[in-house]
Structure 1
Amino acid sequence: MTSAVDDILAQAQWLRNDAVQAVFSAIEQGGDEARIVGGAVRNTLLGHPVPDVDIATTALPGDVMERARTAGLKAIGTGLDHGTVTVVSNGFPYEVTTLREDVETFGRQARVVFGRNWVRDAERRDFTMNALYADRHGRLYDPLGGLQDCLAGRVRFIGEPDRRLQEDYLRILRFFRIFAAYGEGEMDADGLAACLRQREGLRQLSAERIGHEMRRLMSARRAAPALRLMNDCGLWEIATGGLARIEDFEALRGLDDLAPETAHPELGLVVLAGFVREDLERICDRFRLSNAERKRMQTAWAAMKRLSPAAALPSAASLLYEFGRQGAIDGLLAVWAGLRAQNIRDDDRFAARLADLRSQAVPVFPLKGADLIAAGHQPGPELGNFLKYLEGEWRESGFSLSKNELISRSV
């Protein structure tokens, strides 16, 4: 097994890349070692994309910075108190962190000493599948037996789960998020029980940290079963301050094969928590969502309400003009999911309308105030009112009236 795993890692494009090898060459001097750790190793073994590469090393942070700069690489002390240096090689950032031993923890804060013991470094991490290391040649180092858990999709805390959670209560949400992304079968019972015992610790976390973790969780492939467990355990209410329409979200993710938007957290939050518009504002404020995320959720919610009830779906052109392509698709998917959650199947009609929303051009009103002025109208409030009237005529025509036809109605 180990030989086969080593071969998989050795062939990984991100490991064979000259940029990461340059970082290894810079760091591994004077007897120091460096190894890739965590997500890059886990994702490669499971066949998932590798978005970033983290490196653990026995070299002290100051030595990492000096050696990187001597090698012509950019080094930034992004977390020196915790031993982390960001080394930029060929334009790509690598987080390089010195092996650590947490002596005493205070939530996320810890009094840290640096070490050279790979086992001790692994023991302070969160889950066994994240305590996997690989050297620059792809040789696996598995100090805690995490390989079998990784390949089987078992998400298990390292050591005593309650202690891992008390070190950082965000690990409650990470437990569900990692399970949603990589887990198979049932959730680890000991870990779940510990999350229940420690759940009040979620109230100590900042809104930004909760929001960041929740958005990642909601886009994972098994988000629906993970969120149902969270809701059943009372964790959703603590994290969001509200209730959840779990059945609607499960139905939404049942459309994954038809629409990639179903995995977008903005739409997921609308379906889960959008009972009334105020719910969206609360979620946006609580999770510190960006203006763009907030706007998308507001538009999706408005489109969802416009489409409910769905006995007579508005035309694709009308939806596109009113809400834009993204908003129209989001609203359609939200209503479709709501009907499926009620065991009402109208898949053919909704699939056809979804195809129309993707293929049809978004209508653009062809007339401007300047066009009416050029036709002899006087500027002022009446001009604006008349322009709105003509826009209504254009919409009533099924967006078919041309600019000249509209102007002819104004003279």
Structure 2
Amino acid sequence: MTDRRITAEWLQNNAIQAVFDAIERHDDAARVVGGAVRNSLLDKPVADIDIATTAAPSVVAERTERAGLKVIPTGIDHGTVTVISSGVAYEITTLREDIETFGRQAKVRFGRDWTEDARRRDFTMNALYCDRSGAIHDPLGGLTDCLERRVRFIGSARDRIQEDYLRILRFFRIHAAYGNGEPDPEGLTACVHEREGLRSLSAERIGMEMKRLVVAALAPQCLSLMENHGLLEIVTGGVSRIADFTAFRGLAPDVPEVDEPALALAALVGFVDEDMDRLSDRLRLSNSERKRMHGALAAGSELIAKPVDPAAVDTRKLLYRHGRQTSVDGVVLAYSRQSETPLKRDLLELLARLRRTEIPQFPLKGRDLLANGIAPGPDVGRVLERLESCWIESGFALTAKELIGRI
């Protein structure tokens, strides 16, 4: 135990204390572990709270259910039970130790040794525990690494990676989010040496890590390292645009869109539509993510062809053609692709205009043409399309009556 304590509100609330009350009986202990402890120490938001315990999974389920908490046996055979307390989900896992190690299918047994449980984890900063009072338990010396923002593998970096090759991406992602300065040399060397192992991972697992990596604070630096050492091409299947991505991330925190994974990935690899499809397939992105990438490229394509002059962009025309969010996405993407970018303040003003400008509404419908003598059939669509072009070229000024007069 260290002298350091966590006083975060999430640890003091009744929801988690009720979980501790239920589990900690008959000499069993429970401690929060991993991300929640790390993030609290680094003053970062805490999203998920994981708890480790000496109690067996069946005992955890029995005790928490008896206490009136909702139990979901998410992975009880592997030692994990999810408990809902006051609407908050806590993933509770029994301490484990390796008997045989062979990748993700390592043979383990439940135990009561906190140090052995810590040795199974990936990075020292993730092997920190705190009890219900906030006292930090640091079996492997990870507290110093955490406070100094040093992402370091537990034990042999190559051994940890060979247990699960996703830890290569996690090394870069955790450093991008929490690290400081250059990555740990031993960890970087091991990641480069074992990079071919990335090819064995499922698209879903890679996609999950990449979506979190591209929106992290040090993403440009880490992705550049990955490209220089031959890792990024294995993941994306093509050439990346590190300089463009760096310009894109440089808009944070003024432009919230840079924290959208789909748009960040488009800035990283999207030369043409085929690139968007390739990456969407490789990372198993959702249909909405794929659509957003394509939309951004379409909206930004006419701006990408020439330097973006924010004052000259016809915001109403852009909004009418692409909608509000896609127009904003397109401008941000186009900005990141310019070798000579406009002043950031001018770009922010353009984005502000896009966010507040009313989207024009075309004043005619097919029935208006039918009522004015156009016979039903293909001519309706053709005439409507020509009138819409006239309306757009007029700066959206022509009224319905004026347009009808042009039939």
Q: Verify same fold: TM over 0.5.
A: yes
Q: Which moves more between the two structures, 241-250 or 330-339?
A: 330-339
Q: 1: CA distance between counterparts of 2:290 and 2:199?
A: 23
Contact map agreement 2:366 2:381 (CA 8 A) in 1: yes
The structure-2 alpha-carbon separation of the partners of 1:335 and 1:25, relative to structure 1 and needing over 3 Å to count, comes to: same
The structure-2 alpha-carbon separation of the partners of 1:92 and 1:374, relative to structure 1 and needing over 3 Å to count, comes to: farther
Q: 1:401 aligns with which of 370, 392, 398?
A: 398
Q: 1:367 aligns with which of 361, 364, 377?
A: 364
Q: CA deviation at 1:408?
A: 4.8
Q: 1: CA distance between counterparts of 2:371 and 2:146?
A: 70
Q: 1: CA distance between counterparts of 2:96 and 2:352?
A: 53
Q: Deviations over 1:123-169 (max 9, x none)?
A: 11001111111111111111111111111110000111011001100
**The residue matched to 1:129 in structure 2 has which SS?**
helix
**The residue matched to 1:109 in structure 2 has which SS?**
coil
Question: What letter matches 1:185 in structure 2?
Answer: G
Aligned pairs for 1:347-386 within 5 A: 347-375=344-372, 377-386=374-383
Q: 2: CA distance between counterparts of 1:52 and 1:329?
A: 31
Q: 2: CA distance between counterparts of 1:2 and 1:324?
A: 55
**The residue matched to 2:108 in structure 1 has which SS?**
strand
Hey, what does 2:101 align to over in structure 1? 105
Q: CA deviation at 1:372?
A: 3.3
The answer to whether the aligner puts 1:162 opposite 2:162 as a matched pair is: no
Aligned pairs for 1:71-150 within 5 A: 71-150=67-146
The answer to whether the aligner puts 1:224 opposite 2:220 as a matched pair is: yes
Q: 1: CA distance between counterparts of 2:26 and 2:401?
A: 79
**The residue matched to 2:100 in structure 1 has which SS?**
strand
Aligned pairs for 1:8-407 within 5 A: 9-10=6-7, 12-311=8-307, 313-339=312-338, 342-375=339-372, 377-407=374-404
Q: 2: CA distance between counterparts of 1:94 and 1:306?
A: 48
The structure-2 alpha-carbon separation of the partners of 1:162 and 1:404, relative to structure 1 and needing over 3 Å to count, comes to: same
Q: 1: CA distance between counterparts of 2:341 and 2:255?
A: 19
Q: 1: CA distance between counterparts of 2:137 and 2:79?
A: 21
Question: What letter matches 2:195 in structure 1?
Answer: R
Question: What letter matches 1:383 in structure 2?
Answer: V
Q: CA deviation at 1:380?
A: 2.2
Q: 1: CA distance between counterparts of 2:384 and 2:304?
A: 29
Q: CA deviation at 1:403?
A: 3.8
Q: Deviations over 1:156-202 (max 9, x none)?
A: 00111011001100000000000000001111001000101111110
Q: CA deviation at 1:324?
A: 1.5
Q: CA deviation at 1:257?
A: 3.3
Q: 2: CA distance between counterparts of 1:56 and 1:148?
A: 21
The structure-2 alpha-carbon separation of the partners of 1:110 and 1:366, relative to structure 1 and needing over 3 Å to count, comes to: farther
**The residue matched to 1:85 in structure 2 has which SS?**
strand
Contact map agreement 1:129 1:149 (CA 8 A) in 2: yes
In structure 1, list runs of 5 or more residues that go unmatched: none
Q: 2: CA distance between counterparts of 1:361 and 1:310?
A: 26
Q: 2: CA distance between counterparts of 1:275 and 1:65?
A: 51
Q: CA deviation at 1:377?
A: 4.1
Q: TM-score, normalised by structure 2?
A: 0.95
**The residue matched to 1:93 in structure 2 has which SS?**
strand
Q: 1: CA distance between counterparts of 2:158 and 2:65?
A: 41
In structure 2, list runs of 5 or more residues that go unmatched: none
**The residue matched to 2:323 in structure 1 has which SS?**
helix
Q: 2: CA distance between counterparts of 1:377 and 1:73?
A: 68
Q: 1: CA distance between counterparts of 2:48 and 2:401?
A: 55
**The residue matched to 2:61 in structure 1 has which SS?**
helix
Q: CA deviation at 1:405?
A: 4.1
CA RMSD of aligned residues (A): 1.8
**The residue matched to 1:150 in structure 2 has which SS?**
helix
Q: Which moves more between the two structures, 110-119 or 318-327?
A: 318-327
The structure-2 alpha-carbon separation of the partners of 1:368 and 1:345, relative to structure 1 and needing over 3 Å to count, comes to: closer
The structure-2 alpha-carbon separation of the partners of 1:124 and 1:379, relative to structure 1 and needing over 3 Å to count, comes to: same
Q: CA deviation at 1:349?
A: 4.0
Contact map agreement 1:85 1:96 (CA 8 A) in 2: yes
Question: What letter matches 2:360 in structure 1?
Answer: P
Question: What letter matches 2:331 in structure 1?
Answer: L
**The residue matched to 2:304 in structure 1 has which SS?**
coil
Contact map agreement 1:310 1:335 (CA 8 A) in 2: no
Q: CA deviation at 1:352?
A: 2.9
Q: Deviations over 1:346-367 (max 9, x none)?
A: 4454333222112212223232
